[in-house]
Structure 1
Amino acid sequence: MEAIMAQQDRIQQEIATSILLVSDRQELSVLQREYAAEDTIYQLKIKDLHKKYSYIRKTRPDGNCFYRAFGFSHLESLLEDSKELQRFKAVAAKSKLDLVNQGFTEFTIEDFHNTFMDLLELCEKQPGLSELLGSFRDQSVSDYIVVYLRLLTSGYLQREHGFFQHFIEGGRSVREFCQQEVEPMSKESDHIHIIALAQALNVSILVEYMDRGEGGTVNHHVFPEGSEPRVFLLYRPGHYDILYK
C-alpha cells in the first residue's frame, strides 16, 4: 500500500512540476476542452461562466494555488491602480509588526516580508506584466509570497479567534488549526482561509464555485460579503485559478 501511495505522490509531483506556477492568460474556452462533451453539468457551467468572464489564468495544482492565484491577481491589478497600490503597500508594510506583536518570531518572518515588499516596490515602477509574471514563476520568490500570505492568514485567524473558533471542526483550537492547516505549505484552502486573508489585507475576493451540484449555473461568493470584488477566482474541487472579465 505504501509503495502505491509513494508512486501516486511521485506522479502528482511530476504533474505538478510540469505545469507553470502561473500560466499565461488563456481564452476561457480552454475549459471546455478539459471536460468531455457529454459531461453536461460542467459544459453548462462553463457556458454560464462565459456570460461574465472571457479569460482564465491557471495556477499549479500544488496545494498553494489559492494564495498564488490571489497574490498574482491582486498585484497584477495594482499595476494599473496606484492609489490602491499605496494603500496596500502601507497595510503590507505594517503587517510584519502586527505579526511580531502577536508572537511570531521576527527573524523567521523577515525574509518572507522583505520579498513581499520588494514585489510591491517592483509594481510601483510599473514594469511590464512579464516582470511580475517572471517573479511569480520563480519558485523561490513565488513560494516566499505564498508563505507570507499564509502567515497573514494565520495571524488574522488567531487575532479573531473568538469569531473563527465556531468554524473549526475536530475540537481543535484556532492556533492548532493554523499550525496544521494554514501555515504549512501545500495545505489546501477553504472558506475560512479566504475570509481571513480578505479581511487581513482588506481586499475583496469573489470566488466562482464550479462543482458537480445540480443546475447549470455557477454559484459565487464574495469575501467579505457585500464588498466590491477586486480579485476573481474560479474554484473547482481542490483547486483555484484566476478569472478575468
Structure 2
Amino acid sequence: MSQNDEEKKEEVKEEKKEEIEEKKFDLTDENDFLMSSSINEMEMIREEIGKSQPLVSDPKPLEHLLKEFNDHSNYRRQIETLITNKQHSAYRQLRADGNCFYRAFLLGLFETVEATKNEQILETVTKNVVTSNDRLVKFGYEQFALSEFYESFMDELALYQSILSSDDSSGVNIAESTAVQKLSDESHVELFVLCRSLNEAKVFFNLKKQSNYLIFWARMLTSLQMQENEKHFSQFVQGKTFREFLQTDVEAVHAEADHPQFCALSMAIEVPVRVFCLENVETGGPQVVTIPENGQPLFDLLYRPGHYDILYRKS
C-alpha cells in the first residue's frame, strides 16, 4: 500500500472519529435539553399549584374530602369510614409542593404545643435539635451552609419556650429573632411579628420564605437520623447509593417523603405521630399507623398517595 493510500486511510479514520464525537456531543446536548425542559415543566406546575392553593388552608370538614375522590370508590369508602368513626372534626389541607409532609409534621407539632401548653414536648424536641448542627458537621457538612437554618429552628423553639414560661408574650423580643432578620419584604415584618406574638403557627406556615427555613432543617434532621442509623435505613434504598438517596430523596427541596422519612423525623425529635392512610384497596377503612409503634401520638396526619394533610381530633 502506497504512502498516499495510508494517509487517505488515516484521514477517513479521523473523519469518522470526529463524526462520532459530534454525535456524542449532540446527544449530550439533547439529554441536557430534555432534563432542563423537565425541570422547567415541574417548576411551572408548582407555580400553577401555588397560584390556586395556599401553603396552609383553613380547617375543612371531612366531607370536603369526598369531592376530591368522586371517581374513586375505594378512597370514598375509607373517607366515609373516617367520617362515621367520629374521631376527627376537620382536616387542614397543605399545598402539594413536595414539602407537604414536613410542613404538616411541623405545623402539627407547634399547634399541639399551642393547644396543650406542654413544655415537656418542647424540652424533648430541643434536646434532640440543639446538638444536630454539630452532629451533621461530623458527617462532612459545612458549618457555614447550615447555621442559618439551624438558628431559625432553634429560634422557633426558644420563642415557644419563652411564651409558655411567661404569663403573656410582651417580654419576648421577637423582632430580634433570626427569622425576622431574613425578611426581605418589610411589609411582611409587621405581620410576622404579630403572628409570632400571637403564637399562631398556622399563620407562620403560610409565610413561604420563613417557614421554608424550618422545613429545610426538618429535612436535615431526617437525613441525620438516617445517617446515624444507616444499617436500618439503607435497606429501604434501591437503585442508588445511600448518599445519593439522602441527597435526592431527603435533603433536596421539594423531594416527597415516604414512610422511611416519616419514621426518621419522628425518631429524630422523639415526636410520636399517628397517620391515617387512604389506599386503593377493595375493603376496609383507612390503615392506621402509629410511629413509633409504642408511642402516644401527639397529633394525627392524613395520607393519600403522594400527599399529607393534618387531621384534627374531636375535643
* TM-score, with structure 1 as normaliser: 0.90
What pairs up with 1:36-185 in 2 under 5 angstroms? 36=70, 39-50=72-83, 51=85, 52-79=87-114, 80=116, 81-124=118-161, 125-126=163-164, 127-129=197-199, 131-170=200-239, 172-185=240-253
Which structure would you say has the larger RCO, counting Cα contacts within 8 Å and 6 or more residues apart? 1
1:13 aligns with 2:47: yes
Q: Greater CA deviation, 157-166 or 26-35?
A: 26-35
Query: Is it true that 1:29 corresponds to 2:63 in the alignment?
Result: yes
Report the RMSD for the aligned CA atoms in angstroms: 2.2
Rounded Cα–Cα distance in structure 1 between residues aligned with 2:96 and 2:235: 29
Cα separation, 2, equivalents of 1:107 and 1:77: 32
Gaps of 5+ in 2: 1-32, 165-196
Rg comparison, structure with higher value = 2
Cα deviations by residue, 1:76-97 (Å, 9 ceiling, x for unpaired): 1112212212222222222222
After TM superposition, the structure 1 stretch with the greater mean CA deviation from structure 2, 25-34 or 58-67, is 25-34
Q: Is the CA contact 1:73–1:242 (under 8 Å) kept in the aligned structure 2? A: yes
SS of match in other structure, 1:54: strand
Percent identity (aligned):
34
Q: Say if 2:260 is the partner of 1:192.
A: yes
Structure 2 residue aligned with 1:224 = 292
Matched, 1:210 2:278: yes
1:147-182 alpha-carbon deviations (Å, 9 max, x no partner)? 101111111111111111211111x33222101111
- Return the alpha-carbon distance in structure 2 between the equivalents of residues 201 and 8 of structure 1: 32
For structure 1, the residue ranges without an aligned partner over 5 or more in a row are none
**Which residue of structure 1 lines up, in the alignment, with residue 311 of structure 2?**
243
- Residues 8-45 of structure 1 deviation map (CA, whole Å, 9 limit, x = unaligned): 75244212343111122222222122232x64322211
Which residue of structure 1 lines up, in the alignment, with residue 12 of structure 2? none
Q: Report how many aligned residue pairs link the two structures.
A: 242
Instruction: Give the Cα–Cα distance (whole angstroms) in 1 for the partners of residues 63 and 134 of structure 2.
Output: 44
**CA deviation after TM superposition for structure 1 residue 232, in Å:** 1.2
Q: Is the 8 A contact 1:23 1:59 kept in 2?
A: yes
Runs of 4 or more off by more than 6 Å in structure 1? Answer: 1-4
The CA deviation at 1:183 is 0.5
Distance 2:252 2:92 in 1: 25
For residue 19 of structure 1, what is the amino acid of its counterpart? Q
